[in-house]
Amino acid sequence: MSEQKNIVETAIEMGDFSTLISATKKLDLFNKFSNEGPYTIFAPIERAFELIPDSVIDESFEDREYLMDIINYHIVEGKYLTSDLKNIQTLTALNGKTLKVSKNGKLLINGIEIKKEDIECTNGVIHVIEEILIP
């Protein structure tokens, strides 16, 4: 069994979050999400960004405040495993906005299904989603 890693190390090792990792680097958040926590991350896989034109992604990366708002909408303070989420209706993201938790045979965040759940890290947990959460 391999040693558990922090959120950033785990996301990098999984290899399917390059845009998310790039945004974290751009915003100088590597240290925060490596050492602080616990956090729950609803991490969109790379495929979630394929429908967005590169020019829109580039513009988002140039607008630091907007990018920070988007990133922080995918993160909740505290560690919420799916067993916890099943008993919650809302969560407050780091940007102060509400995320809605629902169940429709599957666990959903703002109507987006959690595809891979409970990836535990030393400072929190990652849940993989296939779409971007828009505040």
Residue 90's φ and ψ, nearest 5 degrees, are: -145, 155
Mean pLDDT of the chain: 94
* Predicted local distance difference test score (pLDDT) of residue 87: 94
pLDDT at residue 2 is higher than 80:
no
Tell me: cis bond preceding 53? Omega within 30 of 0 counts: no
pLDDT at residue 30 is higher than 80:
yes
Residue 40's φ and ψ, nearest 5 degrees, are: -110, 125
- Domains identified in the chain and CATH numbers: 7-129 (2.30.180.10)
Q: What is the average per-residue pLDDT within 116-124?
A: 96
pLDDT tens-digit map of 53-86: 999 999 999 999 999 999 999 999 999 999 999 9
* Predicted local distance difference test score (pLDDT) of residue 1: 46
Residue % of the chain over a pLDDT of 90 = 89
Q: Residue 51: which pLDDT band, with cuts at 50, 70 and 90?
A: confident
What whole-number distance in Å separates Cα of residue 95 and Cα of residue 117? 22
Tell me the C-alpha to C-alpha distance, in Å, between residue 51 and each of 13, 129, 130: 24, 15, 12
Q: What is the average per-residue pLDDT within 18-24?
A: 93
Residue 100's φ and ψ, nearest 5 degrees, are: -95, 130
Helix ranges, 2-53 (H): 7-14, 18-26, 30-35
Q: Residue 9: which pLDDT band, with cuts at 50, 70 and 90?
A: very high
* Predicted local distance difference test score (pLDDT) of residue 96: 97
